[in-house]
Amino acid sequence: MRWIALSITFFFTVLALYGIARPEVLFETMDSSLSPVFVYCAATIRVVYGLTLIGAARTSRFPRALRIIGTFLILAGIIALSMGVSGFRAVFDFVSPDGAEFMRIGSTLTVFFFVFILFALIPRAGGAVSTSESI
């Protein structure tokens, strides 16, 4: 489960780095692909990613943090479904005037967030040994 979570996190980190380098392309792609299929895919990806983080939390450096993030991602997927295309369009139109700048700032924050998740997913050196076992 950890390798799946690492792969998804690495993919989203690369996508966010692309958002920093070429925000206008990412912004135009999102604008042109906003449809019910996009909303369902985004919601599904959030739920699946949240479940993989929760599943991988047991062997991670910060299991509680990953469980909380995973839970929020599952809730975000459910909320995305309830928002629908009109809700996504409203948010998109709100940030459209400053599209490229907003995308660059958001992508930068996203990179930091995903780098933390990557760090959290890597197990501690020596494995997850409890203090009672090492005595």
| Average of per-residue pLDDT across 55-78 | 94
Report residue 102's pLDDT band, with 50, 70 and 90 as the boundaries.
confident
* 126 band by pLDDT with thresholds 50, 70 and 90: low
In the chain, domain spans: 2-122
Distance from C-alpha of 36 to C-alpha of 51, rounded to nearest angstrom: 23
- Residue 134 banded pLDDT, cuts 50, 70, 90: very low
Query: Is the pLDDT confidence value at 12 over 70?
Result: yes
Position 57 pLDDT exceeds 50: yes
Predicted confidence band of residue 73 (pLDDT cuts 50, 70, 90): very high
pTM for the full predicted model = 0.82
How many whole angstroms from its chain centre is CA 20? 16
What is the structure's pLDDT at 127? 57
Distance between CA atoms of residues 130 and 33, nearest Å: 48
- Average pLDDT score, the chain: 86
Q: What share of the chain is helix, strand, coil (3-state, %, to 5)?
A: 85, 0, 15
Q: Would you say residue 130 has pLDDT above 50?
A: no
pLDDT at 119: 94
Q: What is the DSSP string of 17-72?
A: HHHHH-HHHHHHHHHHT-SHHHHHHHHHHHHHHHHHHHHHGGGSS-HHHHHHHHHH
Cβ-contact 54, 70 below 8 angstroms: yes
